[in-house]
Amino acid sequence: MTHPLSGSLLGTAAGDAYGLPYEGLSPRRIGKCFVPRRYALIPLLHGGMVSDDTEHAVMAAQAWIDGAGDPEIFRRSLRGRLKWWFARLPAGIGLATLRSCLKMWLGLGLGRTGVYSAGNGPAMRASVLGVLCDDLDGLCRLVKISTELTHTDPKAYRGALAVALLAWYETRHPDWTTEAITAAILQQIGDNEFSDGLQTYVPDPKCGITGYMYHTVPAVFQTWQAYRDRPAEGLDSLIRQGGDTDTTAAVFGGIVGVRHGENLFAAVSGTWCEPLLTPDFFAALAKQADEARQSGRPQKARRFGGMVTFARNLLMMPVVLAHGFRRLLPPY
């Protein structure tokens, strides 16, 4: 049986790489060029590569391992990892996260780097925290720390917390019904606008699901409710809805991956082109997390990055630019 953490990371990576080629496209256009269950970022190889969504999930897991869940160590570790991740020129980065990372490099204090934004960046980092934190109070605290490093709008925190709670329940109460889990989460979030959005949100038919937290998370929740035990179909559905496809698919994959990560990763065919973020790497992080939890002592989390990631990012830039230009061409 797949470890919940490695499963969540496998699901995140599969969703991210599967959805990345369609990011920013309308549902109509995706309907004309969608390649089901196959990576399409690097066409000849049917190659799959990840974006910031998977990298942020990994960094959150590493920061938890660094401190065995200690909030202050987690804060310092995640800040440092985000800062150096930014220095390696990641190909995909949201505006709020970019501004926050610049503030980190300018030396602003721990509580002064976030910007007032309700973007979905913190949701990328939330599922792994739901897997790793045993008690709900500790989970809320770490999600708040993770969110406010980059985003200070309360909606960003509530959306990220909803994702983390969903992964928490999937890890610890997989026998609960979707209705019971949803009701418990809505009670804990306590926000009428969020609750209404889960019931009423419909993606814009022209631009798809946006990066606004109260669009991304309701779309993911609705897909989880409909495809909880059919995760590959859920990925298909989210990607076909267009918009921020890599993030919506990655967040959904991180949640359902708790129980189905290995199968979900195997469901998308093609060549896995990531040099460091591999199933073996995710399994090694899961082993370290278990050691940290059992001993209660911080561990030195296995790293990714350095010159290998910098070179990978440089090589990926032409691919990203090519996809950007490709969007100017038919089919429209």
What type of residue is 258?
V
The tokens describing 254, both together, are 């991180």
pLDDT at 175 over 80: yes
Contacts of 324 (CB under 8 A, 6+ apart): none
Greater model confidence, 1 or 154: 154
Compute the average pLDDT of residues 191-212. 95
Q: Which two three-digit tokens encode residue 67?
A: 């401190």
- Torsion angles phi and psi, residue 203, rounded to 5: -60, 150
CB 119 within 8 A of CB 100: no
- Segment 292-321 mean pLDDT: 88
What is the pLDDT, as a whole number, of residue 325?
77
User: What mean pLDDT is predicted for residues 110-121?
Assistant: 94
Residues whose CB falls within 8 Å of the CB of residue 301, separated by 6 or more in sequence, listed in order: 61, 62, 63, 65, 66, 285, 288
Mean pLDDT for the stretch of residues 27-54? 90
Task: Confirm if 46 and 1 have CB atoms less than 8 A apart.
Answer: no
Concatenating the DSSP letter of every residue in 199-220 gives: HH---BTTTBB-SBHHHHHHHH
Give pLDDT, residue 41.
Answer: 86
For tokens 């230009």, the residue is 325
Q: CB neighbours (10 Å) of residue 325?
A: 8
* Structure confidence at residue 320 as a pLDDT band (50, 70, 90): confident
Whether 45 has a pLDDT exceeding 80, the answer reads: no
Q: Summarize pLDDT for 214-273 with one digit per residue, the tens.
A: 999 999 999 999 999 999 999 999 999 999 999 999 999 999 999 999 999 999 999 999
pLDDT of 332: 67
Residues 131 and 4: beta-carbon distance below 8 Å: yes
Residue ranges of the alpha helices (H) in 149-230?
154-172, 178-189, 192-200, 213-227
- HSE-up of residue 265 (Cα within 13 Å, Cβ side): 24
d(CA 97, CA 38): 29
Which residue in this structure is represented by tokens 């591999």?
278
Determine the 3-state secondary structure of 114 from DSSP: coil
Q: Please give the structure tokens belonging to residue 21.
A: 């080629």
Domain 4-326 CATH superfamily:
ADP-ribosylation/Crystallin J1 (1.10.4080.10)
| Helix residue spans in the chain (DSSP H) | 4-19, 27-33, 52-67, 71-87, 95-105, 121-124, 126-132, 136-148, 154-172, 178-189, 192-200, 213-227, 231-240, 245-267, 279-295, 306-326
CB 241 within 8 A of CB 204: no
| pLDDT beyond 80 at 290 | yes
State the Cα–Cα distance between residues 173 and 182, nearest whole angstrom. Answer: 12
Mean pLDDT of 139-152: 98
Amino acid symbol at 323: H
pLDDT score recorded for residue 318 = 84
Split at pLDDT 50, 70, 90, the class of 110 is: confident
Report residue 140's pLDDT band, with 50, 70 and 90 as the boundaries.
very high
Phi, psi of 208 (to 5 degrees): 80, -155
At 22, list the tokens.
């369609």
> Looking at residues 273-292, what average pLDDT do you find?
96
For the chain, the average pLDDT equals 94
Average pLDDT over residues 195-223: 96
